[in-house]
Each structure stands twice: as structure tokens, then as C-alpha cells.
């Protein structure tokens, strides 16, 4: 993992917000912002507003807490960025891909569900699951999953594959619609037969 990824560990809550999009980390980031701003205002803009000893105590206490938070977040960062790489469970994506290519849709779906339990925002696994849904006739589920994939910022590099899967879905939906609709009778041929 690159050193620049660890820059998100400096601000509390930023790593989880940035890499995972977890809104549960937003209160920590906002609280840190408020504390830093309060210390700066109390120290430099209105130095007599709060006793200088309390400001100094808050500053050093916050700095120590920030140090421990940075260490904890730096240890957790690999799990935030690539959870499949550090998971104790074996990566089942290659098996899921082989099951998909073999046409074993139920097996592929089960394996992909296991992969997505570890990494729920994995674009290749989500795209493969969309294909499984399409092949098993669950076009509504495939369409919903395609919409979810296209909303992920991590899936920006997969835009060509997402577009290709969308085209496959459209063809499958059109084929299913044409099978569901009975063909209208050819009234012209009936008139010529009657003549």
C-alpha cells in the first residue's frame, strides 16, 4: 500500500469516510474540526475568553488522543482499502468466476455472496453477480445491482464493463419482453387465404 494513503489517517474519521463512505465516521470528523477551531479561536483570536491553562490542557490532551487515533487508524487502513487481501477467509472470487464460466449459476451466486460479505463494494464481484442474475432471469435484481454499481466511486475504472453489462441486460430484457408478448396475428395472410 502506498504511503500517500496514510495521509487520510491524520484527520479523525477521514479514512473511513474517504475509503468506505461510512457516514458513521462523519461525527468524529466534525467533532475534531470543532475542537481544533475552538482551540485556535481561544488561543489566538480571543486569548482571554477561556483560561490559558485550560486551552493548553485541551491542546495537549487532544494531541495525545490524536496520536493514538492515528496509530489505530494506520493499523486499520489496509482493512479499509482492501479487505479481501487481509481477510483470513480464502478469496473465492476465482472459484466464482470459474463457476460462472461453467454455467453453474447457483454455485457462482453463493461464492459471490461470500466474496461480497468480505468486500461489499467490489466491482468485479458485483458485475459478475449482475451477470448471474441476468442468466437466471432475475432482470429486476440485475438492473438494481447495475444502478448500485454505477453509483460507486470505486467503480469508475469499470465504466466500460458496466456499460457492456447494461447492454447485455437491455438485450435480455428485450428478449424476455418479446417472449412474454404474443405475436399479433397476421390479418393480411388471413385475407389472402380466404380469397
The 3 state secondary structure assigned to 181-193 is: CCCCCCHHHHHHH
Flag whether pLDDT at 81 surpasses 80.
no
pLDDT given for residue 195 in this prediction:
46
Query: How confident is the model over 60-88, as a mean pLDDT?
Result: 82
Most confident of 82-91, 112-121, 162-171: 162-171
- The secondary structure of residue 76, as a DSSP letter, is H
pLDDT given for residue 183 in this prediction:
59
Query: How confident is the model over 83-111, as a mean pLDDT?
Result: 86
Query: Does residue 104 share a domain with residue 49?
Result: no
* Among candidate residues 62, 114, 59, the one with its CA nearest the CA of residue 84: 114
Query: How confident is the model over 102-126, as a mean pLDDT?
Result: 90
Query: Does residue 77 share a domain with residue 112?
Result: no
Task: Express as a percent the part of the chain with pLDDT over 90.
Answer: 29
Query: Does residue 142 share a domain with residue 122?
Result: yes
Query: Does residue 168 share a domain with residue 98?
Result: yes
Residue length, the chain?
Answer: 195
Alpha helices in the chain (DSSP H): 14-20, 26-40, 52-81, 83-86, 93-102, 105-118, 123-135, 139-151, 159-180, 187-194
Asked if residue 48 belongs to a domain, the reply is yes
Task: List the grid coordinates of 125.
Answer: 464481484
Q: Domain with 165 in it: what CATH number? A: 1.25.40.10
Q: Model confidence over 116-137: pLDDT tens digits? A: 888 888 889 999 999 999 999 9
Number of domains forming the structure of the chain = 2
**By residue range, what is the domain housing residue 36?**
3-81
Query: How confident is the model over 46-74, as a mean pLDDT?
Result: 86
Query: How confident is the model over 124-152, as a mean pLDDT?
Result: 91
Handedness of CA 118, 123, 129, 132 (dihedral sign): negative
What angle do helix axes 159-180 and 123-135 make, rounded to 10 degrees?
10
User: What is the value of pTM for the model shown?
Assistant: 0.61
pLDDT confidence bin for 184, thresholds 50/70/90:
low
Please state, in angstroms and rounded to a whole number, the distance separating the CA atoms of residues 116 and 133.
Answer: 15
Amino acid at each position: 500500500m502506498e504511503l500517500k494513503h496514510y495521509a487520510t489517517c491524520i484527520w479523525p474519521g477521514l479514512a473511513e469516510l474517504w475509503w468506505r463512505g461510512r457516514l458513521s465516521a462523519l461525527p468524529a470528523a466534525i467533532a475534531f474540526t470543532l475542537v481544533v477551531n475552538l482551540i485556535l479561536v481561544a488561543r489566538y483570536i480571543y486569548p482571554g475568553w477561556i483560561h490559558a491553562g485550560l486551552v493548553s490542557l485541551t491542546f495537549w490532551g487532544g494531541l495525545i488522543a490524536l496520536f493514538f487515533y492515528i496509530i489505530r487508524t494506520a493499523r486499520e487502513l489496509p482493512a479499509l482499502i482492501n479487505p479481501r487481501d487481509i481477510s483470513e477467509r480464502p478469496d473465492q472470487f476465482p472459484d466464482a468466476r470459474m463457476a460462472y464460466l461453467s454455467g453453474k449459476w447457483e454455485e457462482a451466486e453463493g461464492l459471490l455472496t461470500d466474496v461480497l460479505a468480505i468486500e461489499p463494494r467490489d466491482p468485479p464481484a458485483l458485475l459478475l453477480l449482475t451477470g448471474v442474475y441476468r442468466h437466471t432471469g432475475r432482470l429486476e435484481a440485475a438492473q438494481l445491482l447495475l444502478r448500485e454499481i454505477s453509483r460507486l466511486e470505486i467503480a469508475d475504472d469499470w465504466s466500460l464493463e458496466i456499460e457492456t453489462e447494461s447492454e447485455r441486460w437491455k438485450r435480455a430484457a428485450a428478449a424476455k419482453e418479446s417472449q412474454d408478448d404474443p405475436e399479433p396475428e397476421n390479418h393480411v395472410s388471413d385475407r389472402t387465404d380466404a380469397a
